[in-house]
Structure 1
């Protein structure tokens, strides 16, 4: 895959939410957490000192203005950097 976002956009791979609990109980859509997570795949022209994320980081984002695309059967999102609300550090 060779997709390079333009400007202050970020290409991410959404992290799929769990369908079941550890005990095997099914979680319906209405009960799932509303936060959205993704893994940064590619950055546009954002410099790290301007925006402290890099490839491979796990982020939280709002999903109202993202562009979905599918490449080789995998789903990706392109979002504006302003839609990234946090970086998850372990």
Structure 2
């Protein structure tokens, strides 16, 4: 990937939620909310030095956090580390 976040930022790829419920009901796209968790794909040098998160960590973030960007046809989210609520182990 040719993207390097700057400052205290990380690049996150959202984890897609299932499109059906446990009982088999299909959820239409317009009724789904955007996922609030994702996988870290790139981190800035400052974040790497502090050791807050690392690449491939699963993280949870705020609903209205970050800036959406598209790289190579994929959608990503650029977040500041203060918007990352936690790491899923």
| TM score, norm. by length of structure 2 | 0.81
How has the CA–CA distance of structure 1 residues 63 and 4 changed in structure 2, closer, same or farther, with 3 Å as cutoff? farther
Equivalenced residues, count: 86
Which one has a larger percent helix, Structure 1 or Structure 2? 2
Counterpart for residue 62 of structure 2? 62
User: CA–CA distance in 2 between the matches of 1:70 and 1:35?
Assistant: 17
- Relative to the length of structure 1, the TM-score reads 0.80
RMSD: 2.2
Equivalences for residues 1-90 of structure 1 within 5 A: 1-27=1-27, 29=31, 36-44=36-44, 45-47=46-48, 50-89=50-89
**Which SS does the other structure have where 1:41 is aligned?**
strand
**Contact between 1:69 and 1:75, CA under 8 Å: does it hold in 2?**
yes
Question: Alpha-carbon deviation of 1:52?
Answer: 2.7
Could you report, residue by residue, the CA deviation over 1:17-54 in whole angstroms, capped at 9, with x for unpaired residues? 22212432123637x6x860110001112135x34311
Return structure 1 stretches of 4+ with deviation > 3 angstroms: none
State how far apart, in whole Å, the 2-side matches of 1:58 and 1:88 are. 5
